[in-house]
Amino acid sequence: MSNPLPNIIKIAIVGPESTGKSTMSAYLAKHYHTVWVPEFARQYCEKLTSPCTYQDEVNMFYGQLDLEEKMLPQASKILICDTTFITIKIWSDHLFGKTPPEVLDELPRHTYDFYLLLDIDMPWVDDPLRDFPTLRSHFMQLWHKELQALNARYVVISGLEQQRYDKAVAAVDNFLSKTG
């Protein structure tokens, strides 16, 4: 699915667990006076009463797409996306050894204009939905690999607190200045 509102620039905030994606998404949305798409998987997993299944990954894929589609018309020039369904690919590969075919089919078609890959230099924060504090480097490498496979334009954002936010704004401003 391509962007039905071509004048809206889609910026994805991605990275391993506990890197501040939701907080960064909210910050950037406020800074740029727009809306942000929350991570559907978080809402979905909070309701699960048993471990996540392969079908749950498929459900989260469709849920993320639907949520993004619903939020897109509310955006003001920029839509900030708290993660993307690349996360479904990474988690499915890790947990089940395969990716749902619908995810693989959609990856090259459902693009984002720019990605901020949040670094793992933030302290780990425990959360019932976070599982792999010792695998953050592994997942960071996977994010690089997946973004490179898509030829995605991305920047790694590191630092703590305001420094991290300032770097993100500078990266987005730089990207926007080059897109006209």
Q: For residue 2, is it within any domain?
A: no
Q: What is the CATH number of the domain that holds 122?
A: 3.40.50.300
Q: For residue 48, is it within any domain?
A: yes
Q: What is the DSSP string of 38-63?
A: --HHHHHHHT-SS---HHHHHHHHHH
Q: What is the pLDDT of residues 14-44, one digit of tens each?
A: 999 889 999 999 999 999 999 999 999 878 8
Q: For residue 174, is it within any domain?
A: yes
Domain count, the chain: 1
Q: For residue 98, is it within any domain?
A: yes
Q: What is the pLDDT of residues 37-81, one digit of tens each?
A: 999 987 887 888 888 899 999 999 999 999 999 999 999 999 999
Domain containing 85: what range? 9-179
Q: What is the pLDDT of residues 83-140, one digit of tens each?
A: 898 999 998 999 899 999 999 999 988 989 999 999 999 887 666 555 666 779 999 9
Token pair for 5: 């509102």
pLDDT surpasses 90 at 179: no
Closest CA relative to residue 139, chosen from 14, 15, 13, 12: 15
Q: For residue 114, is it within any domain?
A: yes
CA geometry: angle 83, 86, 89, nearest 5 deg: 135
